[in-house]
Amino acid sequence: MKTLGRTEKTLALAILLFFFAATLVQCKKEEESLVNWRENLGLGKEKVSRLHFFFHDTLSGKNPTAVTIAQAAMTKTSPTRFGAVNMADDPLTEGPELTSKLVGRAQGFYASAGQQEVCLLMAMSYLLTEGKYKGSSLSILGRNHALDPVRELPVIGGSGLFRLARGYAVAKTHRLNKTSGDAIIEYHVTVIHY
């Protein structure tokens, strides 16, 4: 094989250096754009909003809003229904009664993830259908130790006015029928968005 001559070596080195420098410039540019990312994305000032509503999870009757879509062989004998996955399209209302004003829907699933205790993994989007946030949704993903009177769920994102949202929901059991599993949960959501 022919070895490279001196000029060729210098040329190769120059080309390498050029690409190295070009990469550095590119990184610098991306860093700069991150400084003004809020403006660049057309987002306003960061603000905190608080939402309050009641969540109705109905498993019993002719028109359930939550249904079991999967379970394991052992789910039937498990005291915590370990392995069951429910899909829900639950109404969100202004007041505790189902007949009060509808303000949104919680759509998604929750799964029984605890073997020793009733513990759900929630993965749901909360779409608001009334008021200022109509058409915007929040994504809630996290652990729900459902039999505790009060628990906290993480808000990990959102859409519309809740784009890039983060926050938490405090969920408090308003009413629970332990036979049917029907529940009315009061939510206080604190959300940081733009």
Ligand X SMILES: *[C@@H]1O[C@H](CO)[C@@H](O)[C@H](O)[C@H]1NC(C)=O
Nearer to ligand X, 127 or 185 (CB): 185
Nearer to ligand X, 23 or 60 (CB): 60
Nearer to ligand X, 12 or 67 (CB): 67
* By the rule CB under 6 A, 60 interacts with ligand X: yes
* By the rule CB under 6 A, 10 interacts with ligand X: no
Residue showing tokens 């405090």: 170
Contact present, 124 and 107 (Cβ < 8 Å): yes
SS3 sequence, the chain? CCCCCHHHHHHHHHHHHHHHHHHHHHHHHHHHHHHCHHHHCCCCCCEEEEEEEEEEECCCCCCCCEEEEECCHHHHHCCCCCCCEEEEEEEEECCCCCCCCEEEEEEEEEEECCCCCCCEEEEEEEEECCHHHCCCEEEEEEEECCCCCEEEEEEEEEEHHHCCCEEEEEEEEEEECCCCCCEEEEEEEEEEEC
* By the rule CB under 6 A, 177 interacts with ligand X: yes
* By the rule CB under 6 A, 63 interacts with ligand X: no
Nearer to ligand X, 77 or 179 (CB): 179
- For residue 74, the minimal CB distance to ligand X (Å) is 24
* By the rule CB under 6 A, 180 interacts with ligand X: yes
* By the rule CB under 6 A, 7 interacts with ligand X: no
* By the rule CB under 6 A, 115 interacts with ligand X: no
* By the rule CB under 6 A, 179 interacts with ligand X: yes
* By the rule CB under 6 A, 98 interacts with ligand X: no
Nearer to ligand X, 160 or 181 (CB): 181
Which residues of the chain form contacts with ligand X (CB under 6 A)?
60, 177, 179-180
